[in-house]
Amino acid sequence: MASALDGVAAMRLAELKDPANVKQVPTRNGFGEGVVDAGKRNRNVIAICADLSESTRMLGFKEALPDQYIEIGVSEQLLVAMAAGLASAGKIPFIASYAMFNPGRSWEQVRTTMALNETNVKIAGAHAGVSVGPDGATHQAIEDIAIMRCIPHMTVVVPCDSIQTKKATLAVAEMTGPVYLRFGREKTPVVTTEETPFELGKAQIFREGRDVAIVVCGILVYNALIAAQTLAKHGIDCMVINNHTIKPMDEETIVAAAERCGAVVTVEEHQVFGGMGSRVAEILAQRRPAPVEFVGVHDQFGQSGDPAELIEHYGMGAVAIEAAVRRAIARK
Amino acid sequence: MPTLTPQRLTELKVHANRVREGIIRALLAAGSGHSAGPLDMADVFTVLYEHVLRHKPAEPEWDDRDRLLLSCGHIAPVRYSAMAYGGYFPVEELLTLRKFGTRLQGHPERVRLPAVETTSGPLGEGLAQGTGMALAAKMDGKSWRVYVVTSDAEHQCGLHWEAAMTAAKFKLDNLIAIVDRNFIQIDGSTEDVMPLEPFADKYRAFNWEVFECDGNDIAQVAETIEKAKAVKGKPSVIIAHTVPGKGVSYMEGDYTWHGKPPNKEQADQALRELEAERERILAHG
Ligand SMILES: Cc1ncc(C[n+]2csc(CCOP(=O)(O)OP(=O)(O)O)c2C)c(N)n1
Ligand SMILES: [Mg+2]
């Protein structure tokens, strides 16, 4: 049977052999660079910020393109609804806050004024995940993928590193329609290179393998690759798929991976309920049933702590991924 | 008639100075967190915990306690420090701020530390919850009051004004809001980011009784709260004018200290300045 994976080679990645030497850059930096380029390419691109210009990395846009920049203070519901108005009048607004507040606080405005209205607004959700660290549960958005992927017309993108976040920012600026782009606060490993291709809606095979397919998004791609390296030493051959576009998801690649490996592990810095992994399971339940193990936060809130400590505590470190792979294999 | 004797006033000034010391030590240990707001509200929190509130530190969930809500949760270090110096928990626990497993989360959490009354951090949600509590007290004929501490930039949130309208509708004279009017927020001056003035007029238009005071003057804060308690038939707001970073020379008035902690050297200098100020208070009142 022909497979979507036929003839697909794994992407070239940055050198990951020595974790200590991997470059660490916050994904938000890629957004900051991308949004400035998008604004220079198209003067209808505007940036709107709700009192978080430095931490969302919109400050560079403010400095480079002051005439296309709008500051509105602590008003996330306004942020969305006003952007929808601007979009209706021809602008392409990028609106940035912490994911917890936008789309967290502004959800109904997102649904009605952005999505139901079909306006061309791009949400940049910063500081997503427990890796925001010491700020604690109130600031750790781990439900945002779920609440965005259930909205019709919404495109949902979770890039894996700073380079990919820049590419994703430029790509969503080019397309028409409402978008949710999610990124994090901390410095995280840069796994792709400038040359690694990026296409919205097209999952990427970062490692070929036959035993288990690890389907992962966001900053945990690195942990998944490390887990796969370790497991390879024990004779377990994992495919690693960077599933950056949660909606619309690349069903063909997911189904083909389940076909080839017979078991799947999903990995995301998010509640396991309703997130990327849930979507993978929905697809497989209908098209190619296979055992799935879910790595993510299991129905808990986050808390204060060091980012790395929290990733471990909530079971999203490389060792936890290895364990999930072994569980998946046992269920084959 | 002044509400505080000169001796009591001196004690409270020294107490506020200690609260500031606790804030600096906690932030240094945490390595992240907010400095300007906590320091500027140390006097208000001292007056609240040491003079105004009807409460029992040893029995934090005592039914008849006054409720103190911190709407702008990011200034939690001042509340934690005032609670520690007020007998709620050991002062050394302040050094667990923002660390894994602590009760002193980066933003306060009611489930971990019930005495904080509400979980906060996402701005603009405190007055609404305070309105609910004050309404419940009225419904049940209870005499406890609700105090809501709120920042100025929170007044850019729509929900805050929805609550303000509601508190006036229900004539909640058992509800007192205290605003940290320090004129700063993350991206700069409130008046540049999103102008709030005329600030007092907005509350008047919402049918609130409005008071203003120097929020770094303990005697004035205490007197103003007494006046607000006497208001009948409507909620009161106290606009407390404060100096961001109050008590630490290099932070005072500088908005860039909103969300960062001092490093070791800066903390040492802050602690030296606070100690000198304490000696000055003890010598001159
Ligand atoms: C709903 C919401 N949006 C954004 C933030 C991020 N944030 C934290 S504090 C703050 C504003 C700071 O200004 P102010 O509230 O006046 O506090 P101050 O700097 O004076 O302590 C913002 C935007 C938040 N906590 N909640
Ligand atoms: Mg302020």
- In this predicted structure, the answer to whether residue B178 has a pLDDT above a threshold of 80 is yes
Write down the pLDDT at residue A189. Answer: 95
Tell me the pLDDT tens digit for each residue of A102-115.
999 999 999 999 99
| Model pLDDT, residue A1 | 55
**Chain A, chain B: beta-carbon pairs less than 8 Å apart:** 96
What's the B62 CA to ligand 2 centre distance in angstroms? Answer: 32
Contact A225, A191 (CB under 8 A): yes
pLDDT band at A11 (very low <50, low <70, confident <90, very high): confident
Question: Candidates 3.40.50.720, 3.40.50.300, 2.40.10.10, 3.40.50.970; correct CATH number of B6-284?
Answer: 3.40.50.970
Distance CA(B238)–CA(B228), nearest Å, equals: 8
Residue A19 pLDDT greater than 80, yes or no? no
Interatomic CA distance for residues A37 and A157, integer angstroms: 19
Ligand nearest to the CA of B33: 1
Q: How confident is the model at residue B77 (pLDDT cuts 50, 70, 90)?
A: very high
B157 and A75 Cβ atoms separated by less than 8 Å: yes
The answer to whether the CB of B182 falls within 8 A of the CB of B152 is yes
C-alpha torsion sign, points B49, B55, B56, B62: negative
Q: What is the pLDDT of residues B212-234, one digit of tens each?
A: 999 999 999 999 999 999 999 99
> Around Cβ B253, how many Cβ atoms within 10 Å?
15
CB A79 within 8 A of CB A20: no
Q: Is B256 on the interface with A (CB under 8 A)?
A: no
- CB contacts under 8 A, B 65-94 vs A, are 73
| Residues of chain A with C-beta less than 8 angstroms from the C-beta of B120 | 138
Residue-wise pLDDT for A114-138, tens only, equals 999 999 999 999 999 999 999 999 9
Query: Which of B99, B107, B185 is facing A139, going by the closest CB pair?
Result: B107
Tokens of B185: 């927020």
* Alpha-carbon span B160 to B150, nearest angstrom: 10
Q: How far is A304 from chain B (nearest CA, A)?
A: 5
From residue A328, give the alpha-carbon distance in Å to each of A232, A266, A277, A325, B79.
Answer: 15, 10, 14, 5, 47
A76 annotated active-site: yes
Centre of ligand 2 to C-alpha A236, Å, is 55
Q: Do domains A3-22+194-330 and A24-189 have the same CATH topology?
A: yes
Q: B40 in ligand 1 pocket by Cβ < 6 Å?
A: no
> Cα(A278)–Cα(A331) distance, rounded to whole angstroms?
18
Q: Is the pLDDT of residue B2 over 70?
A: no
CA distance A34 to A30: 6
The tens digit of pLDDT for each residue in A166-214 reads: 999 999 999 999 999 999 999 999 999 999 999 999 999 999 999 999 9
Domain spans in chain B, listed from the N-terminal domain onward: 6-284
Structure confidence at residue B145 (pLDDT): 98
User: Do B194 and A75 touch, CB atoms closer than 8 A?
Assistant: yes
pLDDT band at A4 (very low <50, low <70, confident <90, very high): confident
Looking at beta carbons, which residues of chain B come within 8 Å of A82? none
Residue range A33-61: average pLDDT? 98
**Residue from A76, A143, A268, A322 carrying the catalytic annotation:** A76
pLDDT at position A8 is 75
The CATH architecture of the domain made up of A3-22+194-330 is 3-Layer(aba) Sandwich (3.40)
Chain segment B78-93, per-residue pLDDT in tens: 999 999 999 999 999 9
Across the interface, which of B32, B101, B122 has its CB nearest the CB of A105? B122
* Alpha helix (H) residue ranges in A42-190: 59-64, 76-88, 107-109, 144-149, 162-174
Is the pLDDT confidence value at A89 over 80? yes
CATH of A24-189, one of 1.10.3720.10, 2.60.260.40, 3.40.50.970, 3.40.50.300: 3.40.50.970
- Residue A71 in contact with ligand 1 by CB distance below 6 A: no
Nearest-neighbour CA in chain B from A225: distance (Å): 27
Give the closest residue (by CA) to ligand 1 atom 11. B185
Measured from the alpha carbon of residue B78, the closest ligand is 1
The DSSP H or E segment spanning B163 is helix B158-169
Residues 6+ apart with CB under 8 A from B129: B69, B118
Whether the CA torsion A106, A109, A110, A111 is positive or negative: it is positive
- Nearest Cα residue in chain B from A76: B157
Q: How far apart are CA B5 and CA B99, in angstroms?
A: 40
pLDDT tens for A308-323 read 999 999 999 999 999 9
Quote the percentage of chain B above a pLDDT of 90.
98
**pLDDT band at residue A17 using 50, 70 and 90 as cut-offs:** low
Contact between A78 and A137 under an 8 Å Cβ cutoff? The reply is: no
| pLDDT above 60 (res B1) | no
Q: In percent, how much of chain B has pLDDT > 70?
A: 99
What's the B37 CA to ligand 1 centre distance in angstroms?
A: 10
Q: Report CB contact under 8 Å: A310, B101.
A: no
Cα–Cα distances (Å) from B256 to A53, B187, B193, B249, in that order, read: 13, 8, 14, 14
B-chain residues near A77 (CB < 8 A): 158
Highest-pLDDT range among A2-6, A15-19, B153-157: B153-157
| ipTM, two decimals | 0.95
Domain parsing of chain A, residue ranges? 3-22+194-330, 24-189
- Residue A1, Cβ density class (10 Å: 0-12 exposed, 13-18 middle, ≥19 buried): exposed
Cβ neighbours of residue A270 closer than 8 Å, sequence gap 6 or more: A129, A142, A143, A144, A145, A146, A276, A296, A297
At residue A12, the pLDDT reads 80
